[in-house]
Amino acid sequence: MKIYTKIILDKDNNYILKDYYEYKGTIANAMGIHWDYKSTRSAKLMEKQAKREKKLLERKLKRAAKSGPKKEEKSKPHDESVPISLESLTSPEKE
């Protein structure tokens, strides 16, 4: 059986180059790595996704460690004796 590795045709479908080798054996063995590509594709995609998520988590942890502990801002409770107005909410000089 001839296994073609390269075929070049001209515009009239005449062979310019035929590169092949002779093979004796079962066709399943000749197919090689492409025989099971689809069956392992989903597993490879899951591995790739897990690797991507792990890398993202490591980046987040590294960034958090670099910036130090976060300081929480304490907000003052609103004084109930003072009425709420638009000016008191939007004032830039508000502390």
pLDDT in tens, 13-62: 999 999 988 888 777 666 655 556 677 888 899 999 999 999 999 999 99
List the chain domain ranges.
2-63
Neighbouring residues of 15: CB distance < 8 A, sequence distance ≥ 6: 7, 8, 9
81 versus 71: the higher-pLDDT residue is 81
- What is the radius of gyration, based on Cα positions, of the chain? 35
pTM (predicted TM-score): 0.36
Would you state the structure tokens that stand for residue 46, as one six-digit string? Answer: 């899951």
Dihedral sign, CA of 22, 25, 28, 29?
A: negative
